[in-house]
């Protein structure tokens, strides 16, 4: 397993070691000991999975304490552009973001610790996105920012006129109006 740091402290890209053969391939998507050696000592409590069509944008979401979540995200099939936005008020990278393309062929994973908003857009039809979380979902603790906030200047890599959003995601506040709990 190869772990790559990003421009924002805490965000990590994990590249598993793939063992291909004539039958297909094998890899460990999670090994508690190896992740701990990489600095990820999270206790995962739940796995989530979504199926989305091309252009589906989910985010930018998070949860406030005491239900803040770390997420270990990956794609089983298809491709996404995954985004994490730093919302730690005392961080030198507050309001900055990192993007990474995750796919069923590159097998990359992205570790997004608490203190970040998270979102993704699907780049292919029938994309299966899965993630492990460190805390249970709590509706009252939901936080978020509108995906296309000009202050964040996220390049989503798609025609934004064709984005498919949930009604909830259409109503999220701007970053300027967002009061970070971190």
Other beta carbons less than 10 A from residue 164's beta carbon: 14
- Give the whole-angstrom CA distance, residue 151 versus residue 129: 27
Residue pair 112/11 in contact (Cβ under 8 Å)? The answer is yes
- Give the whole-angstrom CA distance, residue 182 versus residue 174: 17
Distance spanning both ends of the chain, measured CA to CA: 30
Look up 61 and say whether it is catalytic. Answer: yes
* Structure tokens belonging to residue 58: 């989910």
The catalytically annotated residue of 61, 97, 107, 118 is 61
The catalytically annotated residue of 97, 107, 131, 137 is 131
- Give the whole-angstrom CA distance, residue 75 versus residue 104: 5
Look up 131 and say whether it is catalytic. Answer: yes
The catalytic residues are 61, 131
């Amino acid at each position: 397993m190869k772990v790559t740091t990003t421009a924002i402290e805490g965000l990590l890209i994990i590249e598993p070691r793939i063992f291909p053969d004539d039958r297909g391939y094998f890899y460990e998507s999670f090994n508690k000991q190896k992740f701990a050696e990489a600095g990820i000592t999270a206790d995962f409590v739940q796995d989530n999975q979504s199926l989305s069509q091309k252009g589906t944008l989910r985010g930018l979401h998070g949860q406030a304490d005491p239900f803040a979540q770390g997420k270990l995200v990956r794609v089983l099939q298809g491709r996404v552009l995954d985004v994490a936005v730093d919302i730690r008020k005392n961080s030198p990278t507050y309001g900055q973001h990192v993007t990474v393309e995750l796919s069923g062929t590159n097998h990359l994973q992205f570790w997004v610790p608490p203190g970040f908003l998270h979102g993704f857009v699907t780049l292919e039809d029938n994309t299966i996105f899965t993630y492990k979380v460190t805390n249970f979902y709590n509706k009252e603790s939901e936080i978020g920012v509108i995906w296309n906030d000009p202050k964040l200047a996220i390049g989503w890599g798609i025609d934004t006129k064709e984005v498919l959003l949930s009604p909830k995601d259409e109503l999220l506040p701007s970053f300027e109006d967002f009061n970070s709990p971190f």
